[in-house]
Amino acid sequence: MKILIKNGIVIDPANKINSAMDILIDQGKISGVEKIINIDVDTVIDAKDKIVMPGIVDMHVHLREPGREDKETIASGTKAAAKGGVTTILAMPNTLPAIDGAEMVDELKNIIGKTANVNVLIAGAITMGRLGSELCDIAALKNHGAIALTDDGSSVDDADIMLKALARAKKDKLVLICHCEDKSLSEKGVVNLGVISTRLGLRGISNESEYKRVERDIGLAEKAGASIHIAHVSCKESVEIIANAKKKGIKVTAETAPHYFSLSEEGLLDYNTNMKINPPLRSKEDVAAIKQALRQGIIDIIASDHAPHTENEKDIEFDYAEYGTIGLETELAVSVTELIHTGLLTWESLVEKMCYGPAKVLGIDKGTLGIGRDADIAIVAPEKEWEVTKECFVSRSNNSAFLGKKLKGAVEHTIYKGNIIYSMKP
């Protein structure tokens, strides 16, 4: 099966391409990227005025399977991914039970093999049950197919265990991803600590609870001589700490999620539980700092932190509601709206942050449109406006912090390994 994408603006920073090009796909691989390709094919996609970019590599996704299939499954989550232009996912291990041993990795691999619609990679837990007290058999996780380690949802409080984990991750060449939160500082908090928590009468989560842990974990990585990836950076102090660490030559990469550069704590003034997220939506000042950090390259990666929850867990008292927003189907549009249309980032730098950058961190051969690579491609209408509604989601959950928002930029087609897995309804 051959597909020809005609007349699109091809963005492929890995190969320094940003111009009108045709792309030929043959047998699931990219077989030609040239000014004009004229050849007989099975399917021609006219991409005039469209952006043609590598499929997104989203390295922070909660697919909830096994255990909480009522929220999301590998099948439904990867279908949502396809709609969002995402072709590779790193699945977080905080499932029920957690992915903390070889058997769990095997079970997950089995489900992925049977039901996934896009490439799903596996992150294993750092500690057994993600409880922070006993290291997993990291070599076994690796041998069975995990490519990263994280206790995401929790931080490893014990510095000694964290240091050992960093050393093991280095030895086994696994990416160590840190959810940075000092629970002794953020305990019971439900929104950002400040004016808004004061007005709402809700318990606050301080910036300190995040950045103190960012500081500690980077310090431990330096000590171990290991590389470290900081998940969902939300506040200005964390940005500063990461910037300084990079200057010092510590091997740190950092990620943020679209809600941290597009929404602030003020969105919570009517107790919208879809905006209850951990780390919390921060102050406008923090939002501005995250944007600048993206522009300056201090934050390398944008990932969704897609966190599906049922309505029963969200449409309740604010204190009792679960933390998190879904993001797979909105991450590109929010980024285009907030970063491209505002002139903050170029298309190349956005693709770098959503495709090639995370692929590099994960050490996978994705995120580019190079000849011979897997034909994982998103074709995007950059000016197309749409409104986020509950009905538009294909995810099993619809707890989006962006409900009601108008976004500019829409995925028209997603191609995964040479197959068109999503096309926007005309």
Residues at the site binding other proteins, with contacts judged by CB under 8 A: 193-202, 204, 270-271, 312, 315-320
Q: Please return the burial class of 30, using the count of CB atoms within 10 Å of its CB with bins 0-12, 13-18 and 19+.
A: buried
| Strand order across the 301-302 sheet | 56-61, 86-91, 119-124, 146-149, 175-178, 228-230, 252-256, 301-302
Q: Which residues contact 312 (CB under 8 A, 6 or more apart)?
A: none
Q: What is the DSSP letter of 318?
A: T
Strand 377-387 to strand 406-416: parallel, antiparallel, or no bridges (unpaired)?
Answer: antiparallel
Catalytic residue check, 300: no
Q: Please return the burial class of 181, using the count of CB atoms within 10 Å of its CB with bins 0-12, 13-18 and 19+.
A: buried
Cα–Cα distance for residue pair 421/82, rounded to 1 Å: 6
Catalytic residue selected from 12, 100, 151, 305: 305
| SS3 track for 240-265 | HHHHHHHHHCCCEEEEECHHHHHCCH
Cα–Cα distance for residue pair 61/92, rounded to 1 Å: 6
SS3 7: strand
Length of the chain: 426
